[in-house]
Structure 1
Amino acid sequence: MCRSIYDYVLFRTKGCAVTAELSAGPPKEPAPAPEVTDPQSQPGETLPEPEPSPASLTPAQAFDALYAFCAPALVRQAYLLTGRRELARESVERAFQLAWQRWPEVAVDPDPAGWMRTMTYEYALSPWHRFHPRHRRHEPPAADPSDRPLMAVLLELPPPQRRSLLLYDGLGLDLPETAAETEASTPTTASRLMNARAAIAARLPDLADPSALHERLGSLAAHERLHASKPTTVRNGGERRARFWTRAAIAFTVALIGTTALTVRTAPTHYEPPVAPGAEIQGVPPRVGQGALSESEVSLRKKLRSSMGNGPERVAPVGR
């Protein structure tokens, strides 16, 4: 299998060239190539021919080549992991949209197909899908009745065991590669594989042999109508998603800055102690109403009212 984007494109180019040569008839005698000599080399010494450089591809062309190479198989693998057709297609699209956003990193990866497989599996097995109403609806069973027992057993396995089984027995990865891709230790991965095989053998004794299980996983869900979107649609969707989240981040930042500025503008500049709550005072005699005036108080009031308010006169208290 081609492990690089450019290897895959060169493989297709060479395959097309070979087909064209076979259809054109017997090859003609090639013209002798001119001798290339170096002025500083010895007489009669020829220089080795330069090796052909990799095909120059635009990022979009390289992405489309990787998508055409990996997407159909990844959709089928995601379906074996989840048992849901729409979720399998969505997982592959999200993985490739993430790859398009990080294309400088993915383009130089030594195994871009493995990078895409890891991202697809991570999204497909995310536990947050159970809260989405669309993924809680009943999924129709497999189209081929012979696939339904094995699919039922696979979906009953825990997700780590299901993923390890698909990588090791389905794709043929060795144990260290399976452990590295699942981010687990080698003994843990081996234990998951043994438990998964034991669960399948208990329900389906015909698949107790690892070679038979490998062949059955390779042909599982072959009759399902699993289609992947076009690469241009995935690229455009990834760009729209990136623009949306960029604008959302900008809007959130602007709102945060505005809220902070408003808080600074309206916040008090000095400490104001809070007003203590009222407390009931005990031991104060109750207020009583004023009673009737005595005769002396009445005569004194009349005298005060009859006297001038301002002048040399002074009222002196009369002693008793």
Structure 2
Amino acid sequence: MITRSVIPEQSNLFAPVVDAYGSRLVLVFGNESKNGECPFYRYQCHHCDIGAGEGMGFDGSSNQQRLEFFQDYYADLLVDARHLLIYNSGSTLNHAEMSRETFAAILNLVSGLKNCKLVSLDSREMYITPDNLDRLSHHLGISQRASIILGVESQNDEIRMGKLKKLMTKDAIENAFAIVGAYSEKIGIDFNIVFQPPEVVGDAAIAEAVETLEYGLHLSEKYRVSIDFNFHPYYPSRKSQGMFPKHPRANLTDAFQALMLMKERVEIRQSRAKLFIGWQDEGHDREQNQRAKELERYLEGFDRFNRTQEIIALQECSHF
């Protein structure tokens, strides 16, 4: 029997969208660490409220119930899903946050979805190990592949490790690529980029986003790892507002300029990398009224770009 406590809040029940791979569906599971929090939440990641979890601790039993809930709630959507994303407010590859039993149960579901070609799983870099990737690869269907969502955010150490307090060194990032590279086309990396990070605006923010994409493409080429990019315009969260109260939400005109240049760099390097504008929100944006206005104006363009990868979608919706 599914207990009410394991049913996600509405903000964590994401509606399906379409990306370059087809129907894209996010499944959010509970974190099985102490208090249901990401272990890094209290002393890292100044920009992120997601690590606070759902206000309760989970275990294998409660996450099994959530999996059963998703199978019922998303029954029709799971059949058609081409790209599944698995989150747990932290690292899905950390056994303390997602037990091996929960991990296996989720991937057993994924492997049985005939239309699902890609599953992306969120994780910090230190959990990208041969043992974890072996288990992941073992559970995938023959025609399926996986990608690890890596929250690099910025190629700039001062921004990533200093301002954002994401204590992820470039050596650790490169080591993660080296490990994933051993799995050929079976496993890749989704590279998260925060646009207009704290105390960086205007042309500097545009240049920083392009440089971060170039950094990801370089590692992709060096280690022969397939890569895609998740582009997240900055918004004030509870934590980031406390740390950077005067830093504004991302200027979307600048964001579109950055995306145009990023798309050009992908094409120049003849990469197969896809770009995805991450606009879905778990309710952490502290300026929901402004967010609603932005989505009213730009959502059609966001969705069209995510689906087609055509820059004209952004040009038309923003009246360039």
Same fold, TM exceeding 0.5? no
Q: What's the TM-score bracket when you normalise by the shorter of the two chains?
A: under 0.3
- The higher radius of gyration belongs to 1
Report the structure, 1 or 2, having the larger helix content: 1
Q: Give the TM-score normalised by the residue count of structure 1.
A: 0.24
Q: Give the TM-score normalised by the residue count of structure 2.
A: 0.24
Identify the structure with bigger relative contact order (alpha carbons < 8 Å, sequence gap 6+).
1
